[in-house]
């Protein structure tokens, strides 16, 4: 399991990387291998925002909140749905678009959502 609350889409937190470093990075859309599942905080060319009031990235905040509330007793699918709904809602309220993604390898595509986090 890989959890990334970072933007590898060519942007930096709340600022385009092109403005920051003078370069634009185009992400490669590759599939994870083996039993890997990747939770990513944003998709495509979106930037991953900072939830300043909570002092975390949006995805990290909601991931930690749900794990704390459930004491880790939840499935990957439940966690993914919770993160997606809340991050999209909270960033929309701030006038931004951030769409968390989950990418399982093809080897575990049918099973990953039922895996238990704890």
The string of pLDDT tens digits covering residues 24-38 is 556 667 889 999 999
* Section 32-60 average pLDDT: 90
**Residue that wins the pLDDT comparison between 25 and 45:** 45
What string of DSSP letters covers 32-43?
Answer: PPTT-EEEES--
Euclidean distance between CA atoms 48 and 6, whole angstroms: 6
**Phi and psi, residue 20, nearest 5°:** -80, -45
For position 19, what pLDDT does the model report?
A: 46
Q: Considering only CA atoms, which of 31, 37, 39 is closest in space to residue 64?
A: 39
Give the pLDDT of residue 89. Answer: 97
Over 80: is that where the pLDDT of 7 sits?
A: no
Arithmetic mean of pLDDT, 46-52: 87
pLDDT at 30: 81
CA 33 remoteness from chain centre? 18
Q: Which residue has the higher pLDDT, 75 or 13?
A: 75
Write down the pTM of the prediction: 0.82
pLDDT at 45: 76
CA distance 97 to 110: 28
- What pLDDT is recorded for position 20? 44
pLDDT at 47: 83
Mean pLDDT of 5-33: 59
């Amino acid at each position: 399991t890989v959890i990334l609350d970072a933007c590898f889409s060519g942007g930096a937190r709340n600022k385009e990387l092109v403005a920051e470093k003078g370069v634009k990075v185009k992400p490669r859309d590759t599939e994870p291998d083996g039993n890997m599942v990747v939770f990513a905080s944003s998709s495509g060319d979106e930037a991953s925002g900072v939830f300043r009031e909570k002092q975390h990235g949006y995805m990290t905040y909601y991931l930690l909140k749900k794990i704390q509330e459930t004491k880790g007793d939840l499935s990957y699918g439940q966690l993914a749905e919770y993160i997606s709904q809340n991050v999209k809602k909270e960033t929309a309220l701030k006038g931004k678009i951030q769409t968390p993604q989950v990418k399982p390898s093809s080897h575990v595509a049918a099973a990953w959502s039922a895996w238990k986090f704890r």
